Structure 1
Amino acid sequence: MNRTSINGREELPTHFAAADIPTRDCVELTAGLASYARTHGIPQVEVSGPPTIGELIEEFGFDEVRFVDAHQKPAVDIPAVPRTWRCGQRGLSCLSEQLADAARVPSEADTPPTTLPDGAVMWFARHNRLGDALGIVTGLENYCRDNAVGSVAVTGSPILAEVVETFACGRVRYVPSPSEAISGDAIFARSSWSLPWLDRFNHAVTGAFGGRARHQVSPLPLREAPTPSGQENVVYCQLDARSSTPLPRQSARRLLNQVAAHGEVQVLGGPDTQDYLGQDLTYVRADLPEMVARLLSCRFFVGCDSGLGHLAGCLGAPGLIVSTDDFETTWSFFRGYASLSVIPLAATELLLP
């Protein structure tokens, strides 16, 4: 059964079938379904799946959700919806919109073929930083693999060329001066901020050209991994003043002092970072290949929401990302990196006494 929502959207789904998901996901999903029903003025939705969901509905008093043992089709298959609701209140809103759109999401078997042509070139002028380049190249490479696109190209920023050269891209290449190009910036601008960083461009391209989208895009392997000479007893810190969410200077200096008590500290950054943190620290500037080698051999990495933080995650470097803005947002960007933990700035006083 579908119904019209209070805000004008037609045929919103009210029956959902969840797979055998972990208990934590059951909690998030149950809360998300209740939020979805309230948002769209639906008296009650039904869900089938693990019995834990029924127990949670009763425990939390979610009158908007009813648990049933099984559904006859049609029912919205929860695994068909991007699993991006693990972001607190921001995530519940995101899940609500995803569920509302699910009635119009085609099944995998009915997914239309991609309309992104082989040989297409995407030009980037605004998204020209390391984190952007990692997300663009990784998302586009996975999109091409999943949709049988032989080859596409990116152009604009030199950092795109470095990422294409450093990571194992079989279907994405860099061209310096194309005769025609699609605005990649305009496509990137459509991506959802609720998605992990590497997933964002994959979904943006799918939204623009059709085809299949991944919801858990894995980092690309290195084209040629350097052979480490051994693990350095060095903690690399990247607290860039140019980050959109820099640490307050006093907090950054205190954090560096805490880390320095456990070994040598080197700061990854240039003149802007030196002006921001002071001249009495050891600074390192390097091109992308050297930075990769350093991160692969370091003892630990401490950073903020920045391109080097994403690079550390792609390489599997052990480390911490310190959130100074919205912790839920920072965590949602970095949650796909198994080697990194995201903590709020206040927690560093407890974890690094």
Structure 2
Amino acid sequence: MTNFPVFDGHNDLVLRLLKGDVTAEQVTQGVPDGHIDTPRAIKGGFGGGIFAIFVPNPDNISVDHEAMKTPPYALPLPPPITEQRAVEWTENGFTALEALEAADAITICRSAAEISGALPSPKMAASIHIEGAEAVDRDFARLHDWHARGLRSLGPVWSRDTVWGHGVPFRFPSDGDIGPGLTDAGKALIRECNSLRIMIDLSHLNAKGVEDVARISDAPLVASHSNACAVCPHSRNLTDRQLDMIRDSDGIVGVNFASAFLRPDGKWDDKFGLDILLRHFDHLVERMGEDRVGFGSDFDGALVPALIGDCAGLPNLMTAFRDSGVGDALLAKLTHENWVRVLRQTWGV
């Protein structure tokens, strides 16, 4: 599958390093659990992607996955986190990514041209993303500093509310039309990201926040790891109206492999056929066109289909695509070409 290296819209490997689950050196050698390491990436054709820096909730507060096994559910959002905690974790996230690069696990890419040049390679191509902008200061000094260190993508929120805007709680069945949109500060953040040509990620934003970004931003609209609400009516997924907005901006949606956002019943359960995953790809391609859909696995941050398991299992998905009639040209677009195109348009390089 080396002709179809996967450039993926979202993963949470950095969080595993920040929590001390693995070291950069172990990533290069192989780890016994999780979804991404160098040996499995080579085996599965995982060429890299957008690596998220995410600040976890304090006191081990997490999403109640047990409740997500028995829909319907409406889970409360964790409380907001402090800017001090966010800055500390985010700085450590940059350090972790730089350690991965020093260990030859990744190449930090600051342009679409660098991503193209790194695919395929034993070293994963990595674009740096901040998921939830709690660490960004109001005068954007840290945003500029992190951009100089390689930051190229930012999500104003993870599902927690921030000073910038409001995220969606984990609800099924539900759409994302929950709560108000961006704050005035959040609207200023979008404009500042545009000026720096930092990609803005719509995943986790509520419906009004998505519409605010669409009105303000001059860049293609991007949802790095979201699915079709028409297939799985989950609050984390995108309605057809939102898909049309992304299409009209010539943006992209990365299909999320999280089981609860794929399954029509919304269950946190990884035992299902890949035909369900293909239904999301099919709906997105039909609605937005074949140039605006890619991968957004959420590896190391989600319960993915057992038939994939981790990034070494990506050939199973490629086989499913082949069996459903997907040809070489479309497979190349879905696996990496569409992401490279949108990033080039956004970043200008």
TM category (shorter chain) comes to under 0.3
Larger Rg over CA atoms:
1
Q: Which structure's relative contact order is higher, taking Cα pairs within 8 Å and 6+ residues apart? A: 2
